[in-house]
Structure formats: structure tokens, C-alpha cells
Structure 1
Amino acid sequence: MLRRMSTEAPSIALKLKVVLGKIQVASEKRPEALQYATPLLVAVSKTKGLDMVMEAYDAGQRHFGENYVQELDEKGHDIELLDHCEDIKWHFIGRLQRNKVAKLLGVPNLYMIETVDNERLAKAVNDTWGKLNKPGPIKCMAQVNSSGEESKSGCTPDSAVELVRYIKENCPHLDLAGLMTIGSYDHDPKSGINPDFETLVKVREDVCKALSIPTEKLDLSMGMSGDYEQAIEMGSTIVRIGSTIFGSRNTVPSQATLEEAAEQAKGQDKDLDKSTQEEAVKSQTSQLKKLSVD
């Protein structure tokens, strides 16, 4: 007798279990020198509804990543989520503008800012956090533009040592956790080692040597849905995974989030001519508007 195949999509809990299993397998393939920590999974919940966040939380997930300050502010202050997810830990993984720092730091359960990419931003976050009289420093990462693409934020690999030095010596309210990169979206893991991962590993070596930091004290946040296993094998200690866990279904972005996306696009392309900036804004805003409920 033939068994009828189920057409029901796998639950978020099941997909989390699969991802965590693959993370474990990939981590066991690393050299012994990199076996000091189990990689942390950050579930990227941008444009996903609160119901999906809470479903993942109920399955045991605690660390979540958001790209837009406005969206994170709305989710982080939601009464139902605050009551349901008492120990949720938010990672901000999008481009952060200095005029959004105060709003971001006011989000309950903010755990880490992974995208500090220059000294002025580091100072703004440090000074603002200090004024809030929190019990300890806020965790952060120095973002490195490993691919050299103009559309990506991050300091250059050559300037990473000085950025980390500045944070450690001048920002007492920041707890530098490590280095982060987004990398190029065009690389196919099947074609070989991702050069962006190689770059970030090399940057960590340079930073640790220059500032006498033990390797295991500087995390690497690299690897997303399509390449996280390779990233882990190369030493990543934080992976950011969204669609593999939550699928492609999205909520409609708020007008404030659309405006923030436009500001980000304009900020990323500040060195381009005005017409090119306008095209970048239109492109990013158009992409977000397409994120509607199926």
C-alpha cells in the first residue's frame, strides 16, 4: 500500500533541528585548534512575523538577528513578545547610522551590535550606552568589508587593527566580541573556499598578533544560509541564518522600515553621484516593497 506523501511544510522547530545538526557536523570537521567553541546560531528574523519568532523561541532558539532599527524597535517592544520571550537575545546585523544609535540602544534585550565599522560610530554607541547607566558594556563586533564591494559596509581589512584598537582603548562601554563580515553574495561554495572567509580569518590573525589577543577571545561572525557549513569549517563561531529556518514568506515592511532602507542605501553609496544614489535608493526600496505576505 502506497503511503500518501505529506505536502505540509516542515515546521520551524524541525528546520532549526536540521540546521543545528549540520552546525555540529561542520564544527567537528574543523582543525583541533578551532574546536574551542560550538558555533552560535543567530536566527535572522528580519521581515518575519512575531509568530515565527515565538515559534522559533519555543523550539529553543534564543539569539535572533535584525537588519533594521525600526523593525527591531517594534519587535523588541512588543508586549506579547516581551511576555513570551523573556530571555530573547537580539543581534543587530544591519548598517547602523549614528542618528539611529539611541533608538537601537533602547531596545529591550539587545545583546550585540555586529556592525560597528568606524571610530565615529563606535564612539557614538559607547557614549550613548554610557549615559543609559546599564550594568555592563554592550557587546559589539567590528564589521570588515572583506569583498571590497561599495554596496557593503565595513572597514577595510587593512584598517581593522586600528578600529579594534580604538574600541578597546577608547570605548569602555563596548565589549568587543569579534569580527563580522557579510561578504559577496555571488560566491558558490561548490566552487571552492570563499575568499571573504579567508580574508576575515587573516584579519583576525593580524588583529590578535598586533594587540596580543588570544584567538579564542575574538569571535568570527561569518556564514549565512548558503555557506554556513563552509564558514564553520574555516573557523566561524557565529553564523547568521534566515531563510533556511523561516522560509521565504515575509510580512509587509512598515513605512518607517522602508524609509530606513532608503537611508541605508543612500548612506552606503555616499561617494557615488546623485543619480546613482537615487537608483540605489529606488532599488532597495523596491525590493522591500516586494516582501509581502503570500
Structure 2
Amino acid sequence: MTEISSHLRDLKESLPDNCTLVAVSKTKPASDVLEAYEAGQRDFGENKVQELTQKAEELPKDIRWHMIGHLQRNKVKYIADFVHLIHGVDSLKLLKEINKQGRKAGRIIDCLLQMHIAEEDTKFGLDSEELNEILNGEQLKEMENVRILGLMGMATFTEDLDQVRREFKSLKSLYDEIKNSDHINVQMNTLSMGMSGDYEIALEEGSNMVRIGSAIFGSRS
């Protein structure tokens, strides 16, 4: 058993059954992705469009590719016909572009709305006012080629685990609130929070999708 498949097996054994593991393969060679694929992993996350399209071209076609990084509107067209889930929708303009490219590709593109929950300014994401504008606005109702499946958020990169827990808790509470209300083109079933350093806290706070890279592939070069 290789190191990658061994890490994967240990990780999957520690995750609850309802949790989807997205193996974050950014900056890793296609050979590493293939190793994880051969160990049974199918969901992989990339944060750069160029790297995502390149790997999608080279690797098995039944891989579910997740776009987890900040997505620029002019790059949506390159992934619209195959991306499994876009995690980082952080504006109405981006959502409109995804809908437009989904229409051209003849498919509905699944998305998560990225919330800004961290105390750092470097993280992208919507605030609650912008979220309400998207969910309750008329424009979403007319978008037939996007489907919002949930929320995504990144906690502050800090040693203060209580702060991380508070941030995850606030996102879960928001997720529950939306899940219990009725919106067109919204099917709340995915809460993507937690990475290699904080996924255990995220799981305790209700995450059902974790994005893990270094704990599978080793630290990035």
C-alpha cells in the first residue's frame, strides 16, 4: 500500500458516513491523483482553472472535479461542461456567469455559496446581506442552469480553536436557517467546511463535506 492510499484509508475510516471527502490535489502531479483514484477516491479539488482543466484532460473521466478556489468570471467557460461542484460562488455576478455558461453547455451546474466567516481580510465570501440578496432576489428564480446545493466557508487560520469553532458554528446555524426555508433553485444539502488543520472541529460542528490536501498527499511543494 502506498503512502497516499494509506493516508486515504485512515482518513476515510475516521469520517462519518454522511461526509464527502474532497481530496485537494492542487499543485500535486497527476500521478498522485491517479494513486488516490486507484485507492477508490473519486472527488478531487483544484483551486486553479488551468490546473483543473489540464488534469481533467489527462485523468479518468469518472472523477468528480470540485473547483474550490476563487473563480474569476472569465474562466467559468473553461470548466462549465464538466465541473462537478463549484465551491466558491462569492457574488451574484459570478452566479450569473455560471448560469450563462451552464446554458451554453446544456447542463445545470451545482454550486455552493461561499460565506465570509473568518476574521481575516484575505478570505473571499459573501456577508449575510449579500446572501439574502441572492437567495431572495428575483434573478435567482430565472437561473435555470445553476443549482445551489449549500454553503462553504473557511475559518480563520489561527491557533485559537475556540474562534475556529465559533466561525464554523455560525456557518452551520446559517445553513440550517436556509435549509428550513423555501427558495427556487436551492437544495440545501451540503455544508463544506473543514481542511487538513481544522476538519475535526468542522465535523463536530456539522460539516458534511471536508476539503483535505496535505493530510492525504503530504505538504505542498
2:98 maps to 1:129: no
Residue 92 of structure 2 is aligned with which of 119, 133, 148?
A: 119
Residue 72 of structure 1 is aligned with which of 52, 59, 65?
A: 52
Q: Deviations over 1:197-237 (max 9, x none)?
A: 01211211332344369xx9431000000111221121101
Using the size of structure 1 for normalisation, the TM-score is 0.69
Alignment-mate amino acid for residue 53 of structure 1:
V
Is the radius of gyration larger for structure 1 or structure 2? 1
Q: How many residues align?
A: 218
Q: Which residue of 2 aligns with 1:147?
A: 118
Structure 1 residue 10 displacement after superposition = 6.0
Please identify which structure carries the higher strand content: 2
Q: Which residue of 2 aligns with 1:186?
A: 158
Residue 20 of structure 1 is aligned with which of 4, 12, 30?
A: 12
Q: Secondary structure at the match of 1:110?
A: coil
Alignment-mate amino acid for residue 9 of structure 2:
K
Alignment gaps of 5+ in structure 1 = 1-8, 25-36, 251-294
Structure 1 residue 58 displacement after superposition = 0.2
Structure 1 residue 19 displacement after superposition = 0.7
> Structure 1 51/88 Cα, relative in aligned 2: closer, same or farther at 3 Å?
same
Residue 232 of structure 1 is aligned with which of 199, 203, 211?
A: 203
Residue 204 of structure 1 is aligned with which of 171, 175, 178?
A: 175
2:149 maps to 1:174: no
Please identify which structure carries the higher helix content: 1
Conservation of the 8 A alpha-carbon contact between 1:142 and 1:164: no
Conservation of the 8 A alpha-carbon contact between 2:64 and 2:83: yes
Q: Which residue of 2 aligns with 1:222?
A: 193
Q: Which residue of 2 aligns with 1:28?
A: none
Q: Secondary structure at the match of 2:88?
A: strand
> Structure 1 58/156 Cα, relative in aligned 2: closer, same or farther at 3 Å?
same
Alignment-mate amino acid for residue 50 of structure 1:
A
Residue 3 of structure 2 is aligned with which of 11, 14, 26?
A: 11
Conservation of the 8 A alpha-carbon contact between 1:161 and 1:206: no
| Residues 241-260 of structure 1 mapped to structure 2, 5 A cutoff | 241-250=212-221
Alignment-mate amino acid for residue 118 of structure 1:
S
Give RMSD over aligned pairs: 2.2
Conservation of the 8 A alpha-carbon contact between 2:148 and 2:188: no
Distance in 2 (CA, whole Å) between partners of 1:14 and 1:245 is 8
Conservation of the 8 A alpha-carbon contact between 1:101 and 1:128: yes
Q: Which residue of 2 aligns with 1:45?
A: 25
Alignment gaps of 5+ in structure 2 = none
Percent sequence identity over matched residues? 39
Q: Deviations over 1:101-138 (max 9, x none)?
A: 112224xx42010111111110011011101223xx11
Distance in 2 (CA, whole Å) between partners of 1:219 and 1:145 is 17
Using the size of structure 2 for normalisation, the TM-score is 0.90
Alignment-mate amino acid for residue 15 of structure 1:
H
Structure 1 residue 69 displacement after superposition = 0.7
Q: Secondary structure at the match of 1:219?
A: strand
Conservation of the 8 A alpha-carbon contact between 1:160 and 1:207: no
Q: Secondary structure at the match of 1:77?
A: helix
Distance in 1 (CA, whole Å) between partners of 2:67 and 2:8 is 20
Conservation of the 8 A alpha-carbon contact between 2:156 and 2:164: no
Q: Secondary structure at the match of 2:61?
A: coil
Distance in 1 (CA, whole Å) between partners of 2:213 and 2:160 is 18
